Amino acid sequence: MTKTISAILLFLFCIQLPYASEKDKTNLSLLKELDRTIAQKPFFQQQREQEADSIKSLLKATSSLESKYELYGTLFGIYLHFQADSALHYLERREALTDSLRNPSYKNDLRIARAEVLGIMGLYNEVPEQLEQIQRESLSEGSLLYYYYTSRTFYGWIADYTRTNDRHKYIAQTNAYRDSILAVTPNGIDHNIVLADQLIVNGNPDEAIRLMNDELTKAQGTESAIYILYNLSQAYAQKGDTEKQIYNLSQTAISDLKAAKREYISLQKLALLMFEKGDIERAYKYLSCSMEDAVACNARLRSVEVTEFFPIVDKVYKLKIQKEKQITRTLLISISLMAVLLLITIVYLYRQMKKLSFMRKKVSAANEQLQEINQELSQASKIKEEYIALYLNQCVIYLDKLDTYRRSLAKLAMASKLDDLFKTIKSEQFIRDERKNFYNEFDKSFLRLFPRFIESFNGLMTEEGKLYPKSGEILSTELRIFALIRLGINDSSNIAHFLGYSLATVYSYRSKVRSKALNKEEFEQQVAVL
């Protein structure tokens, strides 16, 4: 019976497992929005085509070579991450105009653009050839920055997908070009985006997150926001915070799709996270969308990235569909029995857990009381032993001193030195000296028992109310009063008798010290347990 119930519980747990990670309402809401955006993808792509068509209409209407050169550049930008073949076509149209325009800077810019689009298309053997032809010393500030971005992106891709010993070389080149970008980019959002990427690579995700969160509010509604969100996802991935990684990747993917981009990485990474979290359906949907877009864009790198694990997801997805059909049939037959058994199990476990919790509380309370009692008994025993020893020792000392004092008086009487005898009898010096010695012994014994008493006592006082013994003292009068309270002598008349003070004096000392305590109402109770 127990084994059957356990098997049923495990079965139900496995069914619910894929959905357990979606408890975060914000992430679930974003994932649903992403699902809707994927469904609307044809609409956003149609908008991109319409934008390109409007530029093509302007091309037909202009005869200016310079205007055509600029419009071809606009079309290159529209198609770059949308349809790489078309982007390359319009780049070649621009190149055809360079001889007529006779602007030397155009050739370098076109080589950089060609390297960029060839990289997207996965033609990596041709990219270095383009980059090596560029004369960096003749580049304008904007073109130089474009060159650094293209080189950093290219070597970053090569480093990610190289499995040979050359990988470290490509990583070093990627880092070098990132440093160059930072060196020439003025302070602002673009500079901080690259800086955050550097911080993540160098293992400082917390600083990258702080920097990107500061910039995100400024970049809302701009293309820069996409890069900021992607940086945040990478930083949280490094920290192992999957939920926040999903949150930022979801927003990045939504922005990519709404911008009608077909060459992207965010949706693929999100698909892998969904697969790891057990949401096979979304993983399959996101990978299918990524593959479709990569093929349409002719972005070979992205196609390779998807095909690396798409067969695994596809196989698991199909198995999941089959299992869901089997489970549905099984559940339709056995759901009633499982519900009854589950209810019985829950009631039984609840009662047992309630009993166990009650017993644990009782045992815990008893243990705490026992520990407190043992501690108090141990301390009381130690105090008793210390002060019994002190009491016996003082009795012996006083007997010896009284005998010595008696002999000195007897000598004075036998010598008929009556004046000296009466003078000695009337003198209080003997009593003062003995009282002083007694207090010294008391102070020493007390501090042996409670070595941290002065420090703990001052911890209860305000700064100006803290008490310390003067030079030559062990305990001051005020400290000695509260030492007696710590020993359980709380009555002012007993304290006054012990110290040889008037009752009013003891009241005055206690009131004065209490007025400078942090907690005046409970001060003496706190002292009693120091």
d(CA 424, CA 323): 110
d(CA 455, CA 467): 9
Q: Are 88 and 117 in contact (CB under 8 A)?
A: yes
Residue 435 has pLDDT above 90, yes or no: no
DSSP string, 36-98: HHHHTHHHHHHHHHHHHHHHHHHHHH---HHHHHHHHHHHHHHHHTT-HHHHHHHHHHHHHHH
Whole-number percent of the chain with pLDDT over 70: 86
> Per residue in 437-454, is it b (16+ CB within 10 Å) or e — as a string?
eebeebbebbbebbeebb
d(CA 228, CA 225): 5
Residue whose token pair is 């792509």:
45
Phi, psi of 435 (to 5 degrees): -65, -40
Mean pLDDT across the stretch 216-237? Answer: 91
Please, which residues have CB within 8 angstroms of residue 160's CB and are 6 or more apart in sequence?
none
pLDDT at res. 319: 74
CA-based end-to-end distance of the chain: 57
Residue 19 has pLDDT above 60, yes or no: no
Residue whose token pair is 């480093």:
159
d(CA 234, CA 240): 10
Phi, psi of 517 (to 5 degrees): -80, 155
Mean pLDDT across the stretch 241-249? Answer: 94
Q: For the chain, percent helix, then strand, then coil, each to nearest 5?
A: 80, 0, 20
pLDDT at res. 380: 59
Beta-carbon count within 10 A of 212 CB: 28
Q: Average pLDDT of the chain? A: 84
Backbone Cα Rg of the chain? 43
Q: How would residue 406 be classed by pLDDT, with cut points 50, 70 and 90?
A: low
What 3-state class would DSSP assign to 461? strand
Residue 10 has pLDDT above 50, yes or no: no
Residue 147 has pLDDT above 50, yes or no: yes
d(CA 286, CA 279): 11
pLDDT digits (tens, 9 = 90+) for 343-395: 898 888 888 888 888 888 887 877 787 787 667 666 656 666 666 556 546 66
d(CA 77, CA 117): 10
Residues in the chain, total: 530
Residue 89 has pLDDT above 90, yes or no: yes
Mean pLDDT across the stretch 118-135? Answer: 90
If we measure between CA atoms, which residue out of 464, 459, 457, 463 comes closest to residue 484? 457
Q: Are 245 and 236 in contact (CB under 8 A)?
A: yes
- Tokens representing residue 114 in the block: 């060609």
- Tokens representing residue 410 in the block: 């007897």
Q: Are 299 and 118 in contact (CB under 8 A)?
A: no
Q: Which residue type, as a one-letter code, is found at position 117?
A: V
Beta-carbon count within 10 A of 163 CB: 6
Phi, psi of 461 (to 5 degrees): -105, 155
pLDDT digits (tens, 9 = 90+) for 477-495: 889 999 988 888 888 898 8
Does the CA dihedral 228-229-232-233 come out positive or negative? negative
Please, which residues have CB within 8 angstroms of residue 233's CB and are 6 or more apart in sequence?
244, 245, 248, 249, 252, 266, 269
Angle at 340 between CA 338 and CA 344, to 5 degrees: 115
Mean pLDDT across the stretch 136-157? Answer: 91
d(CA 147, CA 180): 10
Q: Are 380 and 388 in contact (CB under 8 A)?
A: no
If we measure between CA atoms, which residue out of 160, 248, 239, 163 comes closest to residue 200? 239
Least confident range from 25-34, 215-224, 310-319: namely 310-319
Beta-carbon count within 10 A of 209 CB: 22
Least confident range from 8-17, 181-190, 219-228: namely 8-17
d(CA 315, CA 328): 20
d(CA 341, CA 233): 44
d(CA 453, CA 122): 76
> Per residue in 67-86, is it b (16+ CB within 10 Å) or e — as a string?
ebbebbbbbbebbbbbbbeb
Q: Are 332 and 302 in contact (CB under 8 A)?
A: no
Provide long-range contacts, Cβ within 8 A and 24+ apart, for 124-128. 124/154, 124/157, 124/158, 127/154
d(CA 222, CA 219): 6
Least confident range from 147-156, 397-406, 511-520: namely 397-406
If we measure between CA atoms, which residue out of 331, 261, 300, 252 comes closest to residue 31? 252
